[in-house]
A and B are shown apart, each in its own frame.
Chain A
Amino acid sequence: MLKLLRQSPTSARIGMAMISLMLIFAIFAPVIATYEETSVVGDVWEGSSSRFYLGTDQIGRDLFTRMVYGARNTIALAFATTALSFFIGVLFGFLAATKGGWFDQIISRVIDIIMAFPTLIFCLMILSVVGPSITNLIITIAILDSTRVYRLSRAVAMDIAVMEFVEVARLRGEGAWWIMRRELLPNALPPLVAEFGLRFCFVFLFIASLSFLGLGIQPPTADWGAMVRENAGAITFGIYTPLIPAGAIAFLTVGVNLIVDWFLHLASGLED
């Protein structure tokens, strides 16, 4: 693992540095932040100063504090959603690959139909029915996103399931659960890890977009997407406050993409 890190290209290292910075902000949010998450401490849209490093937002809260807490909320939510999406997707993907037959057919057709529908529209429609709470948000996005994880893990598991060692395990009388956990999972890990990065980016952008549309995380909780929406009016006065949270979202996704690029490169075994 350490050897692998030492061989990493510059682009991946930059990506790691970018993500580490954000993670530090997220983990140590209460220590780094200079004010409380939701307390009003200054005037509306004050400029950057020694009191407010990044100025203040649309109702006079310290933007730097909001950004730091936003990192925590946004990243944690996206991570939880991606993890749940992977749990669902990999579980059903592996089940489809080991069981095959009608189970595989039914799940695959259902997934085909969900994927034929644009995710954002589907999600908006579900949220209009169930209402936007954080739990609903996580479950809805995780289920919609797990379709992509399902496709990949099923394909990877299909390739592994026909190998001799899986056959041996079957003949030994191991159950489907044991085969999935001990034979399929370890061998399918490299492509799944790269996919995790890609899905995280997608989910992160997706939640940011929903919050931006006012249907994701609800105020006063600090969230980057919602902060862009709240401060959007400033731009027409020539105040660039909304660009700060929007830029942070872009910063994080670029960082993850740089690492994922390297992973994909490793997984494909290309040299050039």
Chain B
Amino acid sequence: MKQVLWLILKRTGASVVTIFIISLIIFIGVELLPGDVAETVLGQSATPETVAAFRKELKLDLPPPVRYMSWLKDFVHGEFGNSLANKRPVAQQITWRFANSLLLASTAILIAVPVAVILGILAALYRNTLFDKTISAVTLSFISFPEFFIAYILIGIFSVKFNIFPSLAAINANMPLGTKLYTILLPALTLTFIVTAHIMRQTRAAIINVLASAYIEMAELKGLRRLRIIALHAFPNSLSPVINVIAVNMAYLVVGVVIVEVVFVYPGLGQLLVDAVSKRDLPVVQASGLIFAITYIFLNLLADVMSMLANPKLRKSQL
């Protein structure tokens, strides 16, 4: 147990170092902007006074290391500066939008995990039958499709043809949770399809892998039913890769939300980032990019720790 804790600590330490380096990259990236940030953003028509004011706003008049430290300090305290586009504090916009993105991603994962695991078990149970082959073909297609293709098909069917769900997921803070969930069902479903395909394929592969073991043969020779063998003997032993793929997909969702949010005009962090990139609103880009990175790294860390706990063999491995 002590060894496991030590490994987890080491792994966490590595993640913290990575986050630190990435914050440095994000900061230096903006530094490398050709010419002066102020002139690039304000355009050629800017007067010297506005440029000077803007430089002060971005603290460009201080040396880089000082600026980096103060940016990082502000970030840790939840102060991300002011947006260049609308002059409002970035933190205000980001908190609400980040919560929205998390709501969307967690709704998707809550639907996807049970469906994917059950489908995976069934596909392994009826391996090489028509059922298995159909599911394999369908999931492979979903993996190859771009997110917006699935999204527009769903919009075409559910909001244009049958008119049951809204095509725009415009939620606001005052909505009760039920209405919110109803509004975000289509974007959540889009993400669910993609994530389900990944998790289901991994579950099937993991179970089939375990089915070759001697103890499964033993269970078969005892005359147990196949469903019982798979659910009680094979599945618990294939948990480690399944847990890992679930966590990896949660990390994927953090990025996958970007496109789906744009399709459904959902007020999430992804849409904010895309808007900020096209407007070159650098404080917003920096802050939301770093938040995305931290979430992504944290979820990958979670994936490693979970599979370490689920699989004793990994506990001895290096970092």
A236: shortest Cβ distance to chain B, in Å? 6
B interface bracket (residues with beta carbon within 8 Å of A) = 35 or more
Interchain residue pairs with CB less than 8 A apart (15): A121-B255, A124-B277, A125-B285, A125-B286, A128-B276, A129-B29, A130-B34, A205-B146, A209-B146, A225-B146, A228-B148, A235-B167, A236-B159, A257-B143, A261-B140
* Contact bitstring A101-138, B, C-beta under 8 A = 1, else 0: 00000000000110011111110111111100000000
Whether B149 sits at the interface, judged by CB under 8 Å, is yes
A183: shortest Cβ distance to chain B, in Å? 30
Residue of A nearest to B142 (CB): A250
A113 and B29 contacting across the interface, CB-CB below 8 Å: no
Count A/B pairs, Cβ under 8 Å.
Answer: 124
Q: Which A234-272 residues have C-beta < 8 A from chain B?
A: 235-236, 238, 240, 242-243, 246-247, 249-250, 253-254, 257, 261
Q: Hey, which bits of chain A sit against chain B, CB under 8 A?
A: 112-113, 116-122, 124-130, 201, 205, 208-209, 212-215, 225, 228, 232, 235-236, 238, 240, 242-243, 246-247, 249-250, 253-254, 257, 261
Given A116-B300, A118-B255, 18 more pairs with CB closer than 8 A: A113-B18, A113-B21, A113-B22, A116-B18, A119-B255, A128-B280, A129-B30, A212-B262, A213-B258, A213-B262, A228-B148, A236-B159, A247-B149, A249-B146, A249-B149, A250-B144, A253-B144, A257-B143
Residue of A nearest to B286 (CB): A125
Cα–Cα, bound, A122→B24 (Å): 13
- Which one, B148, B161, B285, contacts A212 given CB within 8 A? B148
Q: Which of B251, B273, B286, B297 has the most CB of A within 10 A?
A: B273
Cα–Cα, bound, A238→B159 (Å): 9
Interface of B is mostly: helix
Taking CB atoms, residues of chain B closer than 8 Å to A129 are 29-30, 32-33
Taking CB atoms, residues of chain B closer than 8 Å to A121 are 255, 258, 273, 289, 292-293, 296
Whether B282 sits at the interface, judged by CB under 8 Å, is yes
A124 and B289 contacting across the interface, CB-CB below 8 Å: yes
Taking CB atoms, residues of chain B closer than 8 Å to A130 are 34
- Interchain residue pairs A-B with the least CB separation, the first 8: A246-B149, A128-B277, A253-B144, A118-B255, A250-B145, A121-B292, A254-B144, A125-B289
- Which one, A116, A126, A247, contacts B22 given CB within 8 A? A116
